Structure 1
């Protein structure tokens, strides 16, 4: 794969940072009437959005919700494939896609839509258990970061906010894994580095706590961590990623706390951390592989992505 270029509508901080880095990727303007803004900021522009579309095999559309649906018309006109971010409506794509849960359904399809960051990590964990012992139902509570780092539009708050149940993540999980009954509650919290989800699973087959830990530990996109080792919460994991030297402090894996794994009768409960800025990156690459028919099977596709990104190398 080759990243041909990136596009934006204005000289945002991200675009200005690219310029300061020597513009490592060709940059394209997605809004011609803003060309004067790029000129004033001395941002080199390689062409317009249509030029970028004509130069690629597949687009990764990370625009704000609703814009991707409008861009789809351009992709159709140029006969291009596209992957849309999780905030778009489901009908924008041929398949609501997750690399581990339904890879084969995306093979050869023109338009795929990814799941949100929370849903991506949640499905990794539920799918992991489901493939081992089967899952009857899931109940989740999401402690959700209120905004990404640097986003001021949410305001400065000192409050928690509860959304009506069920949360869209539970509904989305059922869309991709229709054999699982899921529900959930979401709570917004005034933090920026990561979400935490508590997961309550009713398995089809009885399972021990040790089995659950083993299942989660065996998944390359899940890190088993311990509170006793210093992983006390989302900030610990973000700092750990920075200390690893990961670009932007990104971590592609979700983390599951070993001490959180408990049984209640037949039910399994545990907590996972979702690094929202990076967690969907592997699934984006899975989606490219599927849509472009680079690999036909789930195991082959996700394995190549994991190897390319170095996921699981630490195990």
Structure 2
């Protein structure tokens, strides 16, 4: 049983803790954070199902004020674990890495950290083997994670030469205020980091693309123009996507009108927080135009990286050596059912 700790109990950390707790071959030792944040207070109201470790000792009185039991400090958690999932704010993980090295522990960092923090820039489906036995892995960002799922699925079946991507990026997570109130679009320079990151994980595929920040919170929207290495039909592309457990093919005509429809669908399913682990593609957006495969995908940014992070545990700890065996177990325990409409 692999012992796992989660450091940083925010948007991603909450979901990582829940995801690890569902794995039958892993044990969640506890979570660490610095203060009685709203997620920590919610954890208290739920009966403290996870042991809490305080990463900032001067805040002890603040935790005690709310009656939150403290199981120890950050180093206490690290010493008890085989591997740490670091979901802290960008830059904090690099500081924490020194502690992980001090105790000889493995760690997986989220997409906000710089790529050089880790031995491998990791994706469960695209380069699982490169993560085997490594001490430090870094996940791709939410957009890049979902993008690579689709490009990798096509590449393994028909081969992909290059991709051109356009990203309409949500400006903040639901509940975040740090972006302010805005009524504007903001354009990034070409190429966007998702295209660059895709090439780091899949160096045999050329990629470029644009990114536009938009003042919404429920998911990113990506359009991909992929150049295949052999002729393919729309029907074949649809079937490739339908076979992938972490890609769901839906239809506009069935009521999946956009990001809000998909977010509501997750809540209607009764998923905690309305989370969805899959990326969604609309069948009506999939087409073959001249020498390009065109399709659009929805990225549920709060939860999409959770399966690949758990894949990373399996790779780093060498729990499974085979890529498909590893991702299948992650999918099974997360109850990813491979349902399409």
Q: Shorter-normalised TM-score: what interval?
A: over 0.9
1:228-243 residue pairs with structure 2 within 5 A?
A: 228-243=253-268
Q: Does 1:73 align with 2:98?
A: yes
What residue in structure 1 maps to residue 65 of structure 2?
Answer: 40
Q: Does 1:295 align with 2:295?
A: no
Q: 1:244 aligns with which of 269, 292, 295?
A: 269
Q: Deviations over 1:78-111 (max 9, x none)?
A: 1100000011111111100000000000010010
Q: 1:89 aligns with which of 97, 108, 114?
A: 114
Name stretches of at least 5 consecutive residues in structure 2 with no aligned partner. Answer: 1-25
SS at match of 2:95: helix
Q: Deviations over 1:247-291 (max 9, x none)?
A: 110000000100001111010100000000110110011000000
Distance (Å, rounded) in 2 between the aligned partners of 1:120 and 1:56: 26
Distance (Å, rounded) in 1 between the aligned partners of 2:57 and 2:191: 41
Report the CA distance between 1:41 and its aligned residue: 2.3
Q: Deviations over 1:111-165 (max 9, x none)?
A: 0000000000000000000001100000001111100011001001111111111
TM-score w.r.t. length of structure 2? 0.91
Q: Deviations over 1:169-206 (max 9, x none)?
A: 00000000000000011111111111010010000111
TM-score w.r.t. length of structure 1? 0.99
1:97-112 residue pairs with structure 2 within 5 A?
A: 97-112=122-137
Aligned-residue CA RMSD in angstroms? 0.8
What residue in structure 2 maps to residue 130 of structure 1?
Answer: 155
Distance (Å, rounded) in 1 between the aligned partners of 2:39 and 2:110: 18
Q: Deviations over 1:198-241 (max 9, x none)?
A: 01000011111111111111111000000000000011011001
What residue in structure 1 maps to residue 171 of structure 2?
Answer: 146
SS at match of 2:209: strand
Distance (Å, rounded) in 1 between the aligned partners of 2:72 and 2:329: 32
SS at match of 1:6: strand
What residue in structure 1 maps to residue 238 of structure 2?
Answer: 213
How many pairs align? 315
Aligned 8 A contact 1:207 1:266 in 2: no
4+ residue stretches of structure 1 with deviation over 6 A?
A: none
Aligned 8 A contact 2:248 2:339 in 1: no
1:244-283 residue pairs with structure 2 within 5 A?
A: 244-283=269-308
1:157-236 residue pairs with structure 2 within 5 A?
A: 157-236=182-261
